[in-house]
Amino acid sequence: MYWRHRMKWQVGLMTMCVTVALVPDALSQPTHAEVRQFLQDDAFPHSYRELAQAYDVSVSPLLGEMLNSPVEKADRGRIATLLGAVGDERAADALISFVEKPADTEHITFEHEDARNSAMRALGYLVNRTGDERALKYLTDSLTPGVWRQRGLTGMAAGARSYEEYDRALSRQAIFALAYSGHPAAAEAITSLQRSPSAGQAAFRNSLSDSTLTQWLEVHRLVAERGLAGMYEHYEAERQADGQRQADEANRAREQRQ
Amino acid sequence: MSRHLVIVLLWSAVLAWSPAAHSYSRASGISFSTLTATLSGYSQTWKDPWDADYYVDCVFWAWDDVYGYQCMAIQTQINYAHVFADLNSPAGLHQTTAATDFTNAVAGYSAVATMDGTWSGQGRHYVISDFYYQWCPYNFCTPPLYTGSMWFDIGTSEDQVLVTLPVIISMKISRHDTTSLSMGEALGILGMATELLQTDDNDGDTACSVLFLPIADIDPFSESGPEGVVNDQPEMAAVMAVPGLVQVVNGIEWCNGPPHIPGATITGCGNSQGITVRRWTPTAEGVVWAHEYGHNQGLSVLPGTHNPNSGFLMNQTINEGQRRVTASECNAFLNPI
């Protein structure tokens, strides 16, 4: 009796523990409506630090679903960005499939173009948060513009005159995303692009200004040293200082004129 | 053939007819658009439908023993409504146009306002009668011969408008040689920028009387990164150095750093050197240009200055709803450096 009683008590305690463990998770699970509201202008953070802390990985499946929902069209760029920033490895598939999502028309809208670019950059965020190998490989492979034809990507940017031109634009997004990743392999990939003997990469490199790879390697260095949030804060501080200097100059010019 | 002719001279009194004042009407209107700094209006003279367009009189009768009275000469009188539409600036006559019509003469005018003050549109209204003479012996008339016209003054009409000229901000626009931007599109974008600044949208907004206008043609340039996209600081510096205030490109990936809001697209970059903007959603391009011009005039976007969604033009994020400017921001637009 004692044993049976003890067992009952133990089972009861275990059940309670499981319930206690599950309840907060269920309570903290964000709803579609909450996430949607977060994505609107009012709430969406301007700083990466806030963005990365806004949700945990439990929001990923919902975001992946929203990314491919026609209802969420207007917010796809932010959905992709948040998906990358929360840092769930499951996000790679959703982001890649969104980038490669077939377009209905030859030229995509500005909104779709921006969302696709956001998804590329989000892959960089994801690598930064998780070191996701699939996302990293996708981005390094993207440094050869010809890969976009192999992937069968359709729908070019509104201003692009050919797929050849748009493929290069997407490969440039891969450079930016690799810089945001701060991953050592990403720096190697960008550096190797600077001297790659492959015809496809050489042609791509020649289409870039000399300064572009150097500039984005500097962004990579800042991310590697300070983290993504630190990199953003560094440039933001510079921008604010520059803005203040220009505001002061403008005020002086107006005062002198009076 | 021997016919005894008794010539009866029945001269119609040419001058006996004059337009009845009540059968003619007159009006003038004038308005001023601050969006284009243009005055426009009209003056109009019209007559009532029952007032005849022409009269035919026999002015010379002859007696024929066989046929009786025969008309030997005809005078035709054709009546037109006529109007002069004068646009008067505070300094005097600025422009005159005129119109003539059988029933409804409307003369419109349009001119860019050149000075503050009261402008008026004044109509000078007339009926013009043209006279033609034909010799008609035994109903075989000669072709009509114009003999002159008479003007009947039926008065004036006037409308006035008080003009306060907006501050005109002239922009020399250039575009990357791979970027498409017509002058019509540029005028549309500048029109949007003008409208959002001039309109008081309440909730802390200030009606800011500025008018953005393009200067000369839109010239192409070749600076920037590949395909007209700015990818780094040297490329941005090269684009900013292109002559002119506004440089239009296909994309911007760098403006004193990478996009400062995660996931955001840089739509414009402005500093004291100039403004670089990318082609974007048409409904928001006016906001982008006005916002970047704000930076060009020393307005900065400092954190905490505005609620992110309070609809202020100088917010960091841009959409077509960002229309409001504070009084001090407006002051920067009104006093360009």
**Residue among B181, B222, B230, B232 with most chain A CBs within 10 A, to mutate:** B232
* A99 interaction partners in chain B (CB closer than 8 Å): none
Q: How confident is the model at residue A175 (pLDDT cuts 50, 70, 90)?
A: very high
* A254 interaction partners in chain B (CB closer than 8 Å): 335, 337
Please check whether residue B302 is in contact with residue B314, taking contact to mean a CB–CB distance below 8 angstroms. no
The closest CB to that of A250, out of B179, B279, B337, belongs to B337
For residue A174, give both structure tokens.
């891969």
pLDDT digits (tens, 9 = 90+) for A180-213: 999 999 999 999 999 988 999 999 999 998 899 9
* % of chain B residues with pLDDT over 90: 73
Sorted by where each begins, the domain ranges of chain A are: 36-226
8 Å CB contact of A232 and B262? yes
For residue B310, give both structure tokens.
């309070």
Choose between A222 and B281: higher pLDDT: A222
Please compute the mean of the pLDDT values over residues B185-207 and round it to a whole number: 95
The closest CB to that of B227, out of A165, A176, A253, belongs to A165
- For residues A226 and B48, what is the distance between their CA atoms, to the nearest angstrom? 84
pLDDT digits (tens, 9 = 90+) for A234-249: 999 999 899 899 999 9
For residue A258, give both structure tokens.
């009076």
Give chain A's length: 258
- For residues A182 and B35, what is the distance between their CA atoms, to the nearest angstrom? 49
3-state helix, strand, coil in chain B (%, to 5): 20, 45, 35
Sorted by where each begins, the domain ranges of chain B are: 6-163, 167-334
- For residues A63 and A200, what is the distance between their CA atoms, to the nearest angstrom? 35
For residue A144, give both structure tokens.
């050869």
Residue B102: its pLDDT value, please? 93
ipTM: 0.86
pLDDT digits (tens, 9 = 90+) for A18-32: 444 444 444 467 899
- Residue B246 pairs in a beta bridge with B173, B275
pLDDT digits (tens, 9 = 90+) for A126-172: 999 999 999 999 999 999 999 999 999 999 998 888 999 999 999 99
- For residues A255 and B274, what is the distance between their CA atoms, to the nearest angstrom? 21
- For residues A185 and A170, what is the distance between their CA atoms, to the nearest angstrom? 20
Residue A4: its pLDDT value, please? 44
The closest CB to that of A212, out of B225, B299, B335, belongs to B225
- For residues B150 and B148, what is the distance between their CA atoms, to the nearest angstrom? 7
* Region of residue B216 (phi > 0: left; psi between -120 and 50: alpha; otherwise: beta): left
**Architecture in CATH for domain A36-226:** Alpha Horseshoe (1.25)
Superfamily classification of domain B167-334: Collagenase (Catalytic Domain) (3.40.390.10)
List the one residue out of B99, B147, B148, B146 whose CA is nearest residue B126: B99
Strand order across the beta sheet in which B38-47 lies: B24-33, B38-47, B104-112
